[in-house]
Structure 1
Amino acid sequence: MAGYCTDDALADFSRVMGGQMLRVNALMVVNAILMGVMVGIGAYGHRYRHHPLIRFLFLGATILFLPIVSYIISITSNQQTIAVPSRGGHITVIGYCSPNVHMILILVWTALVQIVGINTTAIVATDAREGRSIAPPAVLLVQAIWTTYLGFGIIENIDFVRQSNLKVFVFYLVILAPFSLIFAKIFLKYYAWYSATHSFAFGRNPRLIVGYMMQLPDRRHHAEVASGHTPPPLIVSREDTVLVEKQPHGYRMCSRGDTARINNKGGLVTIDKVWELDDILLKSTTQLKDVCFSFALFKMLRCRFAKYVVREAGFMKAHNFLWHLLLEDSDDKRILGVIASELSFLHDYYYSSLAISYSKNRLPIWNIFISLLTIVYCLLCAIDLITLAVPALKDMPDHDFKDFIDIFTGQLSCVMSCIPDPPQTSFPKDPHQTELAGLDFGNFLFDLLPLLSLTALVVLSEVREIASYICSDWTKVALMCRYVSWHEYPTWRKWIGKLLECRCKLPRPWKNKMNQCSILVLHPRNTPVDLLRRLIPLPEQKKNIKVPREVQTAIVSTLRSMRGDLSNDIKSAQQLGIQVGDTFLQACNTKGTSDALLAWHVATSILEVRYPHPTTSSSDDHSVATKLSRYCAYLVAYSPELLPDDDAWSSDLYKATKKDALRVLSAAPAVTSTLEMEYRQLVELLLGATSKNNMLKDGAKLREQLVELMEGEEAAWKTLAGFWSKTILYIAPSDNLEGHAEAIARGGELITLLWALLAHLGVDRRPESTADTTTTMDASGII
C-alpha cells in the first residue's frame, strides 16, 4: 500500500539518515587518526617503544580500528532498505538506498590502511641471547581475515553481482585484489621471519660467529704483509652453505673434509676473499670492500648484543687490520665511515623488516613484485576515483567554493515511499504530498579525499620499499658475495658488476649528527619560546649539527697516537699541556665523570667568551674544543646512560648547575664595553657563585690554572682540543648495551660510533675498571 509522503515524514527520514551518515563520516575521520597513529608508531615508534604512552596509544589504536570498521560497514550494509516511522503520525517512510559505491570505497580504504600498516611494521629475527626478536604481529592476520569476511559480506549485498558482465568482474577485482595483496605480504613476512630465525646467517648468527672466531688463529702479532695488511677471514655471507655442529660456546664449523656444500656456488664468503678482489669490471672496488667489511664487523657487533664479551666474540683478531686502516689510510673519514655503515646495518636489523627479507635469495624479488602490483592497483583506483569526480566538476556552474562542495553530494542516494501505520488506515490528506521522493545523503568528498590521500601514501611507501631493496647496502653485500663466489659464471658476474656500478643512495639511518647544549648562555634570546621556557620548566632546546670534519680528524689523530691503549694515555692526561698538580685537584675536586665534564665545559665556555673569534691558525682547534665540550654537556644532560656515572645523579647535577648558571648570569649587565670587560665580569660572577655542587666555581678556577699554563690563544685552543679529543675517547667504552641500542634507534650518537670502534680495537671497558689504573685516574683529576 505504498503511497504519498508528507514533508514532515521526509524530514524525519532525512534526520535519521543524516545522523547515520554523520556518524559514519565522523568515525571515518577517527579511523584516519587511528591509522596515522598506527603508521607513525609502526614507522618511528621503535625509537620510543619502551615509553608507556607510546605503548598505550598503539594498543588503543590497534584495538579500536577493527570495531570501528565493522560498525561502519554494518551500518552501510543495512542501508539498502530502511524504514523510519514518522513522528507526526501514522506514516512509515520506506527508503530504498544504493550504498554500493560507498561500501566498496570504505572497504578499499580499510584494505589500504592495512597495507601501510604491514609496510611499517618492524619484524626482527634474532638469537635468544639478544632478546630482540619481533615476530609478525598476529593482529595483522586477524585484521586481514576479518576485513576479508566483511568484504565477502559486501559482495553479497551488491545488487548487480548476479549480472554476468564486465562491471561485475571489475568490482570483484576492486574488492578482492587488495586483500590478496595483504595476504601475500603477510605470508612473505611470516616466511621471511621463520627462515631468518632458523638461519645461521641471521637469527643464529652470533653463536656461529663466536664459534668460528675461536677456530681462527690469532694473527695479531704476525700479520701478513703483501701489498698491505691482509684482513682476517671474517665471515661476510653464505654461512648456510657449510655444515656446523653444536659446541659449549656456540656452533663450530666442521673441518674442510667434513664440510657439506649445500646449494654452493663458491662456499663461505669471507672478507679476505673480498679484499683480494681487484677486478677491472668494478670501478668502485674500495667502496664496495668497505661496505662488506662493515657487514662483517656488524656480525661481530651483534655478538656484543648477544652478551658475549670482546674476547669471546673474537674482536681482538680483527684488531691488527683495523689499526692498519687507522694508521696507514690517509683518509681520516674512512674508518669512521666503515663504523657508521656497520651501525646502519645494526639499525636495519634491529628496527626494520629489511634484513629478514634477505634470509632467502628470491625474497627481495618477490617483495618488489608485490610492491609493483600494489602500486598498479593504487594507480587504477586513483584513476577510477578521478573519473567519478571529473563529470561533477564539469557540471559546476562557477568556481565558488560552496558550489565545489555542493556538487559532491551523494554518498548515499535513496528513493522513498510511504505506507500508512497501521496498514489498514488510509493516508491523511495533506496538500504537500509526493508519491516518490529522492534524496542524497552525505558528501562524496568524505570518500574521495581520504581514499586519494591514502592511495598516494601507499604508493610512496611501496616506492620507498622498492628503493630500499634496490639501493640498500644489504643488496650491495649480497651482490658482492655473488660476484666473489660465481667464478664459473662469467656472464652472470658481468651483469652483477654492472648492477654494482649503479649509483643510487638512500638516506642512511645513521645521521652523523651531534647535539649541542651549553650551561653558560650570556645573552639569551627573547623569543616567545625562550620567554615561555623561563616561566615554565620546558626542556632545554638542543642544537643538532653535523659532526665537523675537523672533529673527526682530531679524534682519529688522537686515537692513532694512543694506539688504543687508553689506560696508558689516560695516565698521562696532564701531559696534554695541563701541568696543574695539586692546584688542579683543588680546582676540580670531582666525584665522577659528569662533574668533571661540566667543570671543563665551564672552563672552555669562559675561554670562548675571551676568544670568540679564533685566528685562522687556531680555528680548527677552537671548533674541536667548543663542539666536543658542548656535546659532552649534552651527554650529561640528555644521555647520561652513556656515561660511567649514575643516570639520575648526572641528570640532577646538570639541572642544578644550569639553574645556578641562570641565577648567576641574571646579575650580569646587559651590555659591556669590551670583550675583556665582559670576560672579567663573567669570571668574577662565577668565582663568587655559591651552590651545593660548586661546578661554576670549579670551572672558573680551572680556567685560571689553564690561563697561567698556556701562552696565547693558539696554545689554549690546541690544549683544549687535545683534552676533549682524548676525553671523548675515554668515556666511550661502556657495558651499557641498552643505552647504545637506544642511541642507534634514534639515529645515532657520536659516542656510540666511538664505542663500536673501540670495541673492535679490543677496548670494551674504561681504564678505571682495572685495579692498576684506578689510582692513576683518581690522581689525574679527570675522573
Structure 2
Amino acid sequence: MGLLSTARAGLHHPCTTPAPAPSPDEKDKMMYRALVFTTVLMAILGSTLCVVGMERLIRGRFTLFSMARFLLRFAFVIFLPLLSYMNSHSNGNVDQILFILMWMLLVELIRKKVQAMVPAADGSFSRASCKFKPMNHSDEVTRLVWIGYLIYTNIKNSSQSVMTMFAILWSLVLAKLGQRVFNEWKAQESLTAAGNAQLIAGYMQYVLEKDGASTCTDDPMANCEYVVMGEEKLVLKKKERRHLKRHDLKVLTITTPHCGHGVGRFPHDQNELKHVHLRVDLDKVKSLVTVKMIWQKLGGLPRLCCLFTKRGRGFVDHLRLLCLSFSFFKLMRRRFEHYPMVEVGSMMTRRLMLQGLLSHGGSGSKLTDEESAMVAFRVLHLELDFLDNYYQAGVPVVMSAPWLFFINFLSSLLFVLVYIITAAILVVRAVHHHDFTHMPLYFIITILLLITLLAVEITELLTAYLFSNWFLVHLLCLYTAPGGCLWNCLVKPIICCFIAFRFLVFCSLRIALLLIGRPINEKKMKIKQVSILHVCEPVRKILSSASPVTLTSQAKVAIIEFLKQINLDTGDVGLLDLGSFNVSGKTATEIILACHLATELLAMEHGKQKKKKKKKNPQDPDHRTVATTLSRYCMYLVARAPELLPDDERWVSDTYEDVRSCLEEVASRRRCSCATRCGGGAWRRRCWKAVKEVGEEQLKDTTVWDGVVLFRQLRLMEATAAWKDLAGFWVRLLVYLAPSNDVEGHAMALASSGGDLITCHWAFCTHAGIRRQSSPDQAERHDAHEPRVSQV
C-alpha cells in the first residue's frame, strides 16, 4: 500500500504532471504556419532553379541545381499531407475547401515535373527508358479523378461562375495529362529520339563501308562523315516502301554483320547486340548535316559572332566542337542501348580520335599541347553532358518534336490565366460572405504557388530548350543546311542574331557569378582525392574523404601525349613495369594500392613541396604534382568508386580493407602519447617511419610489402628521375584502367555526379576502340579455355 500511495502521490506532483494537450485552434495555427513555410520554401526554390539552371548550362553538373531540385521535391512531399489536414479540418467552410481544391489542381499540374527533376540514380540509361508505359500514368489518372469527384461534391451548390471556372481548371489539368501521354508516345515513335540509336547504327555501317581503304588525310575532321542531324530523313516512309521497286538503285538495304543475340566480346565481336536492318534512300544522304559540313560551313559565319571572343576563330571553333560532341553523343547512345558500334576499332575512327581530336581538336591551325589537351577534354565533357541530359524527362520530347514543347508551355500559361481568374472569383465570394479570417493567408499561398508554377515552367523552357546546347546545335545545323534566296536572306541572319543574343546572355551570367564570388573557368577540371595514409590516421580518418583538386594542365598534356602514342593498327594499351616492380600476375587493385603507397611514402620522404612561381619554365614540368594527383585519384576509385575499376567490387573492397588494416597495425606499434597523436604532423612522421623501415616478416599483406619495396627503390634514385618515372606510370595506369565493357558502372557515375575523369577516358576509348592489352600468359590461358560455337 505504501508503494501504491507513493505512486499515486507522484502522479499529482508538479514535476510529473503531463503538459496539457494543445487545443484544436493551436493545432490549426501550427499547421497553417507549416503550410505557409512550405509554400514560401517552394517559391524560393522554384525561383532559384531559374538562376542555377542557367548556371548549369555553363558550369555543367557540378552546381547547386541538383540540390535545389531535391529540396523542391522534398517540399512538395510535405505540402500534400498539409493540404489533406486542412481539408479534413475545414469544418464545412466552403470557401476554404474551394481554395484547397484549387491548390490541389495546381500541385497535380506540376507534380510530375518536380518528380522528374531528380534524375534516377540507378543509371537507367537503356532502350527502355524512352518507352511509353501506360502504367506510369495510372496514379495520375486516379488522383485526377478523385479531385474531380471532390470538386463536383463541393461546388454543386455554388454559383455558376465558380462551377464554370473549376470545370475549366480540371479540364486543363486533364488535357495536360493527355498531352504528357502523347508526348511520351511521340518520343517513342520518333527517329530523332527513341529510334535514333538504331538509325545511327545502320548509318555508321554505311559510312564504314564507304570509307573502305581510304588514304589518310591531313585533317580528319574536315572529312568526317559522322552525322550531326537529319538522319531521320534517310528512312523510307510507308508510302515510299509501298511503291518501292524490287531493283531500285536509289535504295540501299544496310545490315550490320556479325551481330544478333549470342556470345561475344566488345568491341571486336558484337554478337550479343541487336541486328540492324535499314533501308536508306541514297538520294537523301547528301542532305545530312555531318561534321564535315559543319567544319566547312561554319567558317562562313559573320564576323559579328567572332568579335565576342579574344581571338576571331575562338567562337567558331567552340561551335564546331559543340556539334562534334553532339555527334559523339549520338554514337555513344548505342553503347547504352545495346546496338552495334561497327566503326569501333576501324582505322577511320582511330585516325579521327587519335590524330584529329588530339592533335588540333577542330581548329584550322595547329594548337599547342596544352590547348589541344584542353580542347579534347572539353569535347568529352560536352558529350557526357548531352548523354546525361537526354536520359531525363522532357529532353526526348524536345528532340522528337519541338512544337510539342511550345504547346506545353502555352497551355501552362493558359492554366495560369484561368487560375488567376478563379482565385479572384473566390476572393470576391469570400468578401461577399464576410469571411475575413484566413483570407490574407489564402491569398499569400495562392500567389506563392503561382510563382512556383511559373518558375518551374520558365526553368524548363530556358534550360531544356531555348538556351540548351541541343537547340544551339539545331540552329547551327539549320544555318549550314542549303536553302533558297529567302532562307539565306531572312532565316540565317535571324539565327546569327539569336546566337549573338545567347552569347550576350551567357556573358552577363558569367559577370554576375563573378561578382558574387562564383567565377566560371571551363578549363578547370576537378578530380577527387584519397590518400591511404590519411585514411589510416585516427584523427584525419573522418576528414580524408574525396576532397577535389584541380587537374593540372601538365597532367592533361601528359595523358593526351600518351594517347597519341597508341598504335593506330591495334589500339592496344599495355601497362609497363615501374622499375623492377613487376606488374604481371597482379590485379589492377593490387597495382594501384602498392604504387600509391610508394608514391605517398616518397612524397613524405621528400618533404612538403614548395610552391613554384606562376611563370615557370615549360621545359621543367612538375612531375611530382602529376604523380601525386593521379595516384590519389586512382586511390579514390578504389576507396569510393570501385564499380569503375576492372576488378569486381568485392575484391576491390576486400583488398583495400586488408591493406588499410595492415598499415594501421604497423603504425600503431609506435607508442605515442595522446597529445602527440592529436598533433597530427609529429605522429605522422613517427608512425610512417615504421612503415618505411618495416621488414617483410612483420607484414601480413603482400601488397603493402610490394609498396614498401618499390618506395625503397625509388628513394635510391635521383628525385627528378623518380618523380618522372612515377608520373609516366600513373598516366599509363589511368589510361589502362579506362577501357571497359561495364556500361552500368559509368551510367551510375553519370547519373550521380555527371561523370568523372575515368568516365571521360572511357568515352574516348570506346569511340577509338582502345582496349587493354592482355599479357601473353593470360592470352594463352584464355584461348585454351574459351568456349567456341560453330556456325550451323
The one of 334, 337, 359 equivalent to 1:327 is: 359
Q: Which one has the bigger strand percentage?
A: 1
Distance 1:439 1:483 in 2: 59
Does residue 646 of structure 2 align to residue 644 of structure 1?
yes
Distance 1:652 1:359 in 2: 47
Question: Following the alignment from structure 1 to structure 2, what is the Cα–Cα distance between the partners of residues 561 and 521?
Answer: 35
Whole-Å separation in 2 of the counterparts to 1:315 and 1:450: 61
Q: What are the within-5 Å matches in structure 2 for residues 303-382 of structure 1?
A: 303-311=334-342, 317-322=348-353, 323-329=355-361, 330=367, 331-370=372-411, 372=413
Q: Which residue of 1 aligns with 2:667?
A: 665
Pair 1:201 & 2:192 matched? yes
Are residues 1:250 and 2:276 paired?
yes
Does residue 296 of structure 1 match 2:327? Answer: yes
Q: Write the distance in 1 (CA, Å) between the matches of 2:213 and 2:758.
A: 29
TM-align CA RMSD: 5.0
* Partner residue of 1:286 out of 295, 317, 334: 317
Q: Deviations over 1:434-491 (max 9, x none)?
A: xxxx996xx6787566655544433332232122112111101111121122522111
Larger Rg: 1
Matched, 1:702 2:699: no
Deviation sequence 1:289-319 (CA, Å, 0-9, x none)? 2111111111111111122454366876433
Task: State whether structure 2 residue 489 is matched by structure 1 residue 487.
Answer: no
- The structure 2 residue matched to 1:750, chosen from 721, 746, 757, is 757
> How far apart, CA to CA, are the structure 2 residues paired with 1:613 and 1:379?
64
CA 1:702–1:23 in structure 2 vs 1: closer, same or farther (change >3 Å)? same
Matches within 5 A, 1:12-91: 18=25, 21=28, 73=87, 76=90, 79-80=91-92
The alpha-carbon distance between structure 1 residues 222 and 272, as it changes in their structure 2 partners (threshold 3 A), is same
Paired residue secondary structure (1:311): coil
Contact 1:326 1:560 in 2 (8 A): yes
Selected match of 2:129 from 128, 132, 136: 132
Whether the 8 Å CA contact 1:319–1:761 is kept in 2: the answer is yes
Contact 1:213 1:314 in 2 (8 A): no
Gapped regions of structure 1 (runs ≥ 5):
1-14, 48-56, 81-97, 163-167, 389-410, 416-437, 534-538, 777-783
1:117 to 97, 101, 111: 111
3-state DSSP of counterpart to 1:362 = helix
**Which shifted more, 131-140 or 203-212?**
131-140
The 1:684–1:243 alpha-carbon spacing in structure 2 relative to 1, beyond 3 Å, is closer
Q: Structure 2 counterpart of 1:655, which letter?
A: E
Q: Structure 2 matches for 1:162-241, cutoff 5 A?
A: 162=160, 168=161, 173=165, 175=166, 179=170, 182-216=173-207, 217=209, 219=211, 222-223=214-215, 225=217, 229-241=221-233
User: 2:528 is paired with a residue of what secondary structure?
Assistant: strand
SS at match of 2:455: helix
For 1:620, the equivalent position in structure 2 comes to 622
Give the whole-Å Cα distance in 2 for the aligned partners of 1:569 and 1:552. 18
Distance in 2, Cα, partners of 1:103 & 1:190: 30
Report if aligned partners of 1:566, 1:730 keep a CA contact under 8 Å in 2. no
Q: Which residue of 1 aligns with 2:739?
A: 733
Residues 60-69 or 548-557, more deviating: 60-69
Shift of 1:770: 8.2
Does the aligned pair in 1 maintain the 2:291–2:323 contact within 8 Å? yes
Letter of the 1:252 counterpart = L
Structure 1 Cα separation of the partners of residues 33 and 693 of structure 2: 60
**SS of equivalent residue, structure 1 residue 327:** coil
Alpha-carbon contact 2:659-2:703 (below 8 Å) kept: yes
**Deviation sequence 1:30-84 (CA, Å, 0-9, x none):** 9989999x999xx99xx9xxxxxxxxx99999999989866754653xx33xxxx
The answer for the alignment partner of 2:246 in structure 1 is none
Partner of 1:146: 146
Report the CA distance shift for 1:493/1:130 in structure 2 as closer, same or farther (over 3 A). Answer: same
- Ranges in structure 2 where 5+ consecutive residues have no aligned partner: 1-21, 54-60, 62-70, 237-252, 257-274, 307-314, 362-366, 510-519, 783-792
Following the alignment from structure 1 to structure 2, what is the Cα–Cα distance between the partners of residues 73 and 455? 20
- Calculate percent identity across the aligned residue pairs: 26
Code of the aligned partner of 1:499: F
Check whether the contact 2:589–2:647 (CA below 8 A) recurs between aligned residues.
yes
Describe the shift of the 1:272–1:478 C-alpha distance in structure 2 as closer, same or farther (beyond 3 A).
Answer: same
1:552 alignment partner in structure 2: 556
Look up the match of 1:471.
Answer: 467
Match of 2:291 among 268, 271, 277: 271
Bigger Cα displacement from structure 2, 751-760 vs 310-319: 310-319
Which segment drifts farther, 193-202 or 339-348?
A: 193-202
TM-aligned CA deviation for residue 203 of structure 1: 1.0
TM-score, scaled to structure 2:
0.69
Q: In structure 2, what is the equivalent of residue 595 of structure 1? A: 590
Q: Look up the match of 1:684.
A: 692
Residues 414-452 of structure 1: CA deviation (Å, up to 9, x unaligned): 99xxxxxxxxxxxxxxxxxxxxxx996xx6787566655
Change (3 A) 1:476 1:372: farther
Contact (CA 8 Å) 1:624, 1:721: kept in 2 or not? Answer: yes
Q: How far apart, CA to CA, are the structure 1 residues paired with 2:410 and 2:544?
A: 47
Superimposed CA distance per residue, residues 467-520 of structure 1 (whole angstroms, 9 cap, x where no aligned partner): 211211110111112112252211111101221232145999999542211110
Kept in 2, the 8 Å contact 1:604–1:629? The answer is: yes
Query: CA 1:222–1:589 in 2, change beyond 3 Å: closer, same or farther?
Result: closer
Counterpart in 2 of 1:103? 97
Structure-2 separation of matches of 1:177 and 1:651: 59
Name 2:514's counterpart in structure 1.
Answer: none
Q: Distance in 2 between matches of 1:540 and 1:446?
A: 48
Cα distance in 2 between the residues matched to 1:412 and 1:17: 25
Q: Residues 700 and 309 of structure 1: is their aligned pair in 2 closer, same or farther, counting only changes over 3 Å?
A: farther
Instruction: Note closer, same or farther for the CA distance 1:128–1:642 as it changes in structure 2 (3 Å cut).
Output: closer
Change in Cα spacing, 1:640 to 1:682, as seen in structure 2 (3 Å) is same
Seen in structure 2, the aligned counterparts of structure 1 residues 599 and 180 have a Cα distance that, compared at 3 Å, is farther
| Mapped partners of 1:692, 1:251: distance in 2 | 58
| Cα deviation 1:364-383 (Å, max 9, x = unaligned) | 33344345556778889999
Residue type matched to 1:233 in 2? Answer: E
- Taking a change above 3 Å as real, the CA distance of residues 745 and 676 of structure 1, as seen in their structure-2 partners, is closer
Once the two structures are TM-superposed, the CA of residue 734 in structure 1 deviates from its matched residue by 0.4
Aligned to 2:549, the other structure's residue is in SS state strand
Question: Which amino acid counterpart does residue 462 of structure 1 have in structure 2?
Answer: E
Counterpart in 2 of 1:8?
none
CA distance in 1, matches of 2:598, 2:444: 58
Q: Distance in 1 between matches of 2:554 and 2:526?
A: 14
Alignment of 1:490-569 (within 5 A): 490=488, 491-501=490-500, 502-503=502-503, 504-505=505-506, 512-521=525-534, 533=542, 541-563=545-567
In 2, distance between residues paired with 1:320 and 1:27?
A: 62
Which residue number in structure 1 is paired with residue 14 of structure 2? none
How many residues were matched structurally?
Answer: 646
Assess if the C-alpha contact under 8 Å between 1:234 and 1:271 holds in 2: yes
The secondary structure found in structure 2 opposite 1:357 is: helix
Relative to the length of structure 1, the TM-score reads 0.70
The 1:384/1:205 distance shift into structure 2, 3 A limit, reads same
**Equivalent pair of 1:300/1:313 in contact (CA under 8 Å):** no
* Superposed CA offset, 1:323-350 (max 9, x none): 2121234221111211111111110112
Q: Is the 8 A contact 2:739 2:772 kept in 1?
A: yes
Rounded Cα–Cα distance in structure 1 between residues aligned with 2:681 and 2:549: 32
